[in-house]
Structure 1
Amino acid sequence: MTIPQHPFRSQWQPIEVDVVGYRIVDTIEGAALEAIYLFCKQHPMNVAGQPIGLFPTTDPNDPEWNLRVVPESHRLEGSTEEMLRGTIRFMNVQHHFQLLLRRGMGQLTSIAQGHFRNADRQVTQIEQLQALVTEKEEIIAAREETILHREDQINQSDAMITQRNVIIEFL
């Protein structure tokens, strides 16, 4: 991402950052924070000399930004150098927060992918076991049918033996 040059500041070189994020909004915010952090490190006097001109102190459309910025009364009490250090420290914390957030999202994604692979493998194992159980049930059903057939044969043989015994006794 390249931050465009200010039309009145030709000495500023473009700032390029490489950022990877989970969602496009997070990626853009991370790139912007990293670029602002690098800009503050590269041009501390420009930031200290005209902080209001470079970075607005409040945004009526974004209450979260209003909670993040240092109130104007605190900023005017200290020296410019203290204000600059505080601003850079704040940007450093925001930058590190974004890095940790990206790392955490990467770890979370990795863990989720691991769980998905594990669940997929378990589903495959369950399907294989179900197929094996079905196969065994078919074998058992075939054997039960064979047993019933044999029982019928035995009953028929018993009936034939009983008939022959009756004939033999008669004779």
Structure 2
Amino acid sequence: MRNTLRPMAAPQRFSFAGDYTETDCLDWEGFPRILWATLQGVSYLTPPRYVMREYEERGVPCYQAHFVVAAHPSHPEWQPLEFEETGYRAADTQESTALWALIAFCARHPNEDDPDWLMRFQSAQVLAASWPAETSYTLVRCLKAYNKLQALLRQTLHGLSKRVTTKDARIQDLGRQLAELQLARDEGLHREAQLEDQEE
């Protein structure tokens, strides 16, 4: 699918009541911007919105993104696409949601604005020869967005690893404390039994 770059809408972010936040995720370069540029290329008028929810699962903070690519304004036959993605941080959850939406949208509409899309996609040399600047720019944008997503996932994994290590240390510490308390209880019961024996 050929992406034409147009000015981005001003980033918007606001909160709902409770743990829900809605955003268009256009405040930084990444897959949400690439998805929006793709949607603009086929005449969508407004960027999709990401409804984010922060919650905790077994003591681990998690994020859930709900996202809908609405029906096209001039193609009502195009079915809306709906996605839900879960992650451990807001940024990587937004990025991976947009990546899956981009993949699904392009798979559903491979040649909406370009009849030779499949042929050129299968032959990257022809694509690079036809639009060298656009191809290079789009490739670099996608690689940067993918690199950013990988960095976010690495940071998340590192954070989860630290959290698990800290919890393991805490569990071991609690296990030692429990063993000490059980030993003290057993000693107390033993002394109490000895005192009862002496009183008899």
Do Structure 1 and Structure 2 share a fold, with TM-score over 0.5?
Answer: no
Structure with more of its chain in strand, by fraction: 2
TM-score by length of 2: 0.36
- Flag the structure with higher helix content: 1
- Greater Rg, structure 1 or structure 2? 1
